[in-house]
Structure 1
């Protein structure tokens, strides 16, 4: 038995969670105010998005000091009180670790750019360039070149994200030692683990070659040269040996472009790297040609195939993380559900489908009350650097602004960053001041106060799912078998563990759909464990499912 396998994690995006002092920005004291809400929900672990000092070019993922707290959020004493209050309620705290890059305002980079022989020069990736141009044709993940020219030393530095986020040079053992010392500083304070931001980007292919460019574009994705790079496993094993193995902690690595075979290496306990990874394959299934801003409807068969591949691929070898939402993703009820007529039903269905799988579930703030995507009137209301950059880029390409906004409404990261909707008072009870980003205007109907008061709410359904995970080991440890892989509307699977079975049936459509258990499926129901509609006794091998219905039967 392993605590992080049996836990449910709740992600807090501090800027948008709860403001205690009226400045419009969520803060640590605001989080402390709401810990009882999280305890009542039943979560075991709180993961905090970055709360370190930052110029906020990328909302805190550009860190200027790894060992302090951003003034907007509070002080280190506030944070220490938060940790005590979390531990006092029997919960754990996981912090964000952002060490692929720092802020350009970090002391290391300020020194690094002073001269080519500065002791900190090799903490970052500097290059002369070639023929008066960038060192290679790589494109930043936030659009434009991945290189920035610096007048002071007349060289370029690499930034795979914003130009204010220079990449750290993991080839330098001194830099790695600085990172490990910093990690131990936090662990010695008592935290319970790390979520590691784009950690599979830290090893770059030597020589930093140009990426293939058959269309002759100015900048192209060089991702195959830095995602899951040649020394990544060596670096993570060193990190485990030097730091993580000395503490009882949980680790999850955010890893764009990781596949099952790589994830087995990252999460195999015998290899001493990480506990689990965040993979993105299922989050790209509604991307059209050309990436996430080109929209296409989800084909449920693709989702089933993908999640099944991960369930069966890591079973008995590594460990899955289970998520629909986070600070970088749109709201799942607006994405794979129906956030209008069937908001409550589809939110419960999506939760059921995910939480009954093997892995550690992650709940993102507001998911448990069914918060939805937002449609701001103007691009000026958006704050996210990725969103603003893509709008500018597509406008320069001459695209229709209405069409660009539809993509932003569907996929923009600010969908997950609007303030948490606590109640029906002004600004959803998030702040008494002017919120840093607008509140979704549906807060009078969708808020935590209403959800807690209604026993049939999404919130209470999440409480039930979390409680079931704590009382039924099959949900944590059982194996997984997909049923009806070609069905276009129903996602059904069986879990099995120590003579017990679960049958999970979910309807991803807004139609009444007939479910029939395959003849070769060996399952005898004992009882309905959970469902989002009231169900009368009947044949469990064949029944009609209501729109976005979910049922879980336990039996053998």
Structure 2
């Protein structure tokens, strides 16, 4: 499948590039920057919501699933984006947000105004709050998942914010609306969807039919998408226990990808300890997906760094290391910071973290701006701290927009080590050894290596601070070892892979003096090396 060797670049349409100077990022701005994404080595973009919305929750409060919000342009702009992406060899993923809607959605307005409306059963209502064990997704912001609606004369359920009432996917009519939404965007050329809040969609499906514990809904989603676009991606946000991933993927007939929260959490535990063992143990528990399925791995995204997959003790250890100030923490479970500030702004350490990401099995996902080490704005509330404008150069508004500052949807960070005056694309793009250049080299190299399409296995050596996987291509016979030093001290060790007695670097943090047989490996502090078996040596 095409997505076996892809890498995904996540874009927030409102914050990436303003194409018309009105102060808000838009689809034209993204289209103008697609060559930048391609030059960085990515082959898929993931667009956060651009649908019509009041934008009280970054666009996830959708009020029309079938239209582009005017702040981003119109459907012609979207078609032009997809056409340009296709010309550059880029595929486009969009959001499928069907667990809830905005309370301003016409469905909800009709539902609340008439108890006998067919839209009433589009949502979840009760005469009294129901204690079904579910808790608010955002503790401390919402104290209940039930809110009284005076017009409706009932309570409605909302696992997320109270302005985002839950859809009732137990209702076949709601599922038909979801399929219609999928068909619409697939016809416009998208390569698939990032499916929002999958476990909660399954919970409602289970109410309609307990078969397969509600996972039949994913069977239906997959069948519907692949009938219309064979190979369509269904990238599921499934923050569930690691042993449930296989059920969500099925036998290649449910989700095509799961976002791997389990590995994500253990990446940060390993980074906090500067030891590889937590990540090895996480991968050992993570069963390989079916051949055509993949796990997606990442460092940071548009939400908080949710650490609920860790034990309370391990979670607190990561918090102490990367979020020592209470204002850096959120919801009692996570961190609202970007990668670079968490790693003290050390370019070598941030590049090491990117090398670790690209060394892992699965599909790497990078959030816009992390390739240059952008920071956060902790003065912004909740998860919005990491939702700041892209920093293109050191001029007006960091190159994000030509609009006056008072018209910007979000003011960019200007000052400090992570502000656009010091951290921006223009300052790094053509500078050898910059974080941008290192990230590009990692992304491009990975895309060219057939070996890394598999799951890999721990390489044989002894060095506690080094994470290393061996990848083998069963077709071409090539082998590669990806090594990353999580600690600031340089190390040296013997690689104990008997059949790898002649290795050459294909990407590294610095120039090394080779690895003569038997391979004696040196790594700088926060160094990384991908070494490939020399052709003709087997």
- 1:382-411 CA-partner distances (Å, limit 9, x unpaired): 14xxx2xxxxxxxxxxxxxxxxxxxxxxxx
Pairwise CA distance, 1:181: 1.1
Partner residue of 1:243?
225
1:105-504 aligned within 5 A:
105-129=104-128, 135-136=131-132, 138-143=134-139, 144-204=143-203, 231-248=213-230, 249-259=232-242, 261-268=243-250, 270-285=251-266, 300-310=276-286, 313-314=288-289, 316=291, 318-328=293-303, 329=305, 330-335=337-342, 338-340=343-345, 342-343=346-347, 345-372=348-375, 374-376=376-378, 381-383=379-381, 387=382, 413-432=383-402, 433-434=404-405, 435-440=408-413, 441=415, 442-477=419-454, 479-483=456-460, 488-498=464-474, 499-504=477-482
Unaligned runs of 5+ in 1: 209-227, 289-294, 388-412
Given that 1:138 and 1:145 are in contact with CA atoms closer than 8 Å, whether structure 2 keeps it comes out as no
In 2 relative to 1, CA 231–113 (structure 1 residues): closer, same or farther, beyond 3 Å?
farther
In 2 relative to 1, CA 155–296 (structure 1 residues): closer, same or farther, beyond 3 Å?
farther
Distance 1:128 1:522 in 2: 69
Partner residue of 1:31?
30
SS where residue 363 of structure 1 aligns?
Answer: strand
SS where residue 203 of structure 2 aligns?
Answer: coil
SS where residue 4 of structure 1 aligns?
Answer: helix
Pairwise CA distance, 1:203: 2.5
Pairwise CA distance, 1:302: 1.8
Pairwise CA distance, 1:495: 1.4
Q: Root-mean-square deviation (CA), in Å?
A: 2.7
Distance 1:355 1:287 in 2: 15
Question: Alignment length, in residue pairs?
Answer: 485
Pairwise CA distance, 1:136: 5.0
SS where residue 69 of structure 2 aligns?
Answer: coil
Partner residue of 2:334?
none
Pairwise CA distance, 1:494: 1.3
SS where residue 491 of structure 1 aligns?
Answer: strand
Between stretches 25-34 and 536-545, larger displacement belongs to: 536-545
Distance 2:199 2:498 in 1: 40
Unaligned runs of 5+ in 2: 306-336
Partner residue of 1:53?
52
Pairwise CA distance, 1:272: 1.1
Given that 2:169 and 2:205 are in contact with CA atoms closer than 8 Å, whether structure 1 keeps it comes out as no
Distance 1:14 1:454 in 2: 27
SS where residue 314 of structure 1 aligns?
Answer: coil
In 2 relative to 1, CA 42–283 (structure 1 residues): closer, same or farther, beyond 3 Å?
closer
Pairwise CA distance, 1:205: 7.0
In 2 relative to 1, CA 455–192 (structure 1 residues): closer, same or farther, beyond 3 Å?
same
Pairwise CA distance, 1:464: 2.2
Pairwise CA distance, 1:422: 0.3
Pairwise CA distance, 1:154: 2.4
Between stretches 113-122 and 352-361, larger displacement belongs to: 352-361
In 2 relative to 1, CA 333–305 (structure 1 residues): closer, same or farther, beyond 3 Å?
farther
Distance 1:18 1:552 in 2: 34
SS where residue 161 of structure 2 aligns?
Answer: coil
Distance 1:549 1:229 in 2: 50
Pairwise CA distance, 1:482: 4.9
Pairwise CA distance, 1:24: 2.5
SS where residue 350 of structure 1 aligns?
Answer: helix
TM-score by length of 2: 0.83
In 2 relative to 1, CA 137–451 (structure 1 residues): closer, same or farther, beyond 3 Å?
same
Given that 2:26 and 2:73 are in contact with CA atoms closer than 8 Å, whether structure 1 keeps it comes out as yes
Distance 2:362 2:267 in 1: 23
Given that 1:50 and 1:95 are in contact with CA atoms closer than 8 Å, whether structure 2 keeps it comes out as yes
Given that 2:148 and 2:156 are in contact with CA atoms closer than 8 Å, whether structure 1 keeps it comes out as yes
Between stretches 354-363 and 66-75, larger displacement belongs to: 354-363
Pairwise CA distance, 1:322: 2.2
In 2 relative to 1, CA 196–229 (structure 1 residues): closer, same or farther, beyond 3 Å?
farther
Partner residue of 2:529?
551
Q: 1:527 aligns with which of 488, 491, 504?
A: 504
